Structure formats: structure tokens, C-alpha cells
Amino acid sequence: MKVKILIGVLLFLIAVNLVTIGSYVYLRFRHDNDNAWKREHYDHRLRNKKPDLRLDAKQKKQLFSLFQSFRSETDSLRQQIGSLEGQTFDLIQRDPVPMDSVKQNLQRIADIRYDISLHIIQKLMEAKSFLNPDQQHEFYKAIMRARPDHPKAASAPPPPDNPPKPTDCP
């Protein structure tokens, strides 16, 4: 009787091992297939991909100082937008909502965003002075990918002097 019990326990443990190994293999291969599907349909890594600008040391320094100056120039504007958005939210919480004040705040926010856009254009023109056309193209693509509301972030227009590549066409 003891031999039958030991054989039964041994068969049970073998079955548990097979189920464990089978589950591991199934989950392992299923996980890879899910990732392959995600890569085919939406590669989230493109959004976080660092641009391949191939900058030399001088260009890196210029680009870094360009970003620093942009941040310092627009920091107060971004703070004003945050303050106005907070005020607008407070106005919306009132009953009745003072629509004239809300519209004024929204117009001021739009004006400040316009000013920030002008700063961006100015900095892009500065970057154009020290980047070659291919670097400008990659830089533009990186900027477009960084925008959360841009659906076709990976498709930037080709550099002006170069013809489009066959891979750029839809």
C-alpha cells in the first residue's frame, strides 16, 4: 500500500511540474507575441526615441544653450498660463459661471501661447543656422514626436533640398 501511495504522490508531483513548465512556456511565448503585435500596430518607443542628429561637440553645446535660453525666456509665460488656467477653473466652479471672465482668461491664455510659439520659431531659426539640412529634418521630427496631440508625429516633411525617400511615401 505504501508503494501505491508513493507512486501516486510521484505522479501528482510530475503532473504539477508539467503544468508549471507548460504555463511558463505559454506565458513566455504569448508575451513575445503580444509585444510583436504592439510593435506592428503602434510602436510606443518611437515617441520616446532620441533623435539621431549626429551632432559634434560644438553643435551639442549650441543646442543645449538654445534650449536653456528658451526655457528661461518662456518660464514666466508658462507660469502665467498655469495661473490663468487655475483662475479659469475657479471661475467655472462658480454658480452661475461668469462667461465673460472665462472668455477673457481663455483669450489671454491663447495670446501667451502665441507668444511662446513666436519664441519657438525664433529658436528654430537659430538652430537652422548651425544644423545641416539632415540634422534639421531629424530635429523637426523629434519636435513633432514630442507633441502629444500630433497623430502623425513620425512623418515630418523631407529636407527641402533632398528628394523624398521611397520609405517616406505612404
pLDDT of residue 10: 87
Cis peptide before 170 (omega within 30 of 0): no
Q: How does pLDDT run across 70-112, given as a tens digit for each residue? A: 889 989 999 999 999 999 999 999 889 899 999 999 999 999 9
Q: What is the DSSP letter of 151?
A: T
Residue 169 has pLDDT above 50, yes or no: no
Which 3 state secondary structure label does DSSP give 17? Answer: helix
Q: How does pLDDT run across 124-153, given as a tens digit for each residue? A: 889 888 888 888 888 887 777 766 665 554
Q: What is the DSSP letter of 94?
A: S
Q: In the chain, which residue ranges form alpha helices assigned H by DSSP?
A: 2-41, 45-48, 57-93, 99-130, 133-146
Residue 162 has pLDDT above 80, yes or no: no
Burial classification of residue 7, based on how many CB atoms lie within 10 Å of its CB (0-12 exposed, 13-18 middle, 19 or more buried): exposed
Q: How far is CA 53 from the centre of its chain?
A: 18
Band (pLDDT 50/70/90 cuts) for residue 168 is: very low
Q: How does pLDDT run across 34-46, given as a tens digit for each residue? A: 555 555 545 444 4
Closest to 159 in 3D by CA, of 142, 136, 139: 136
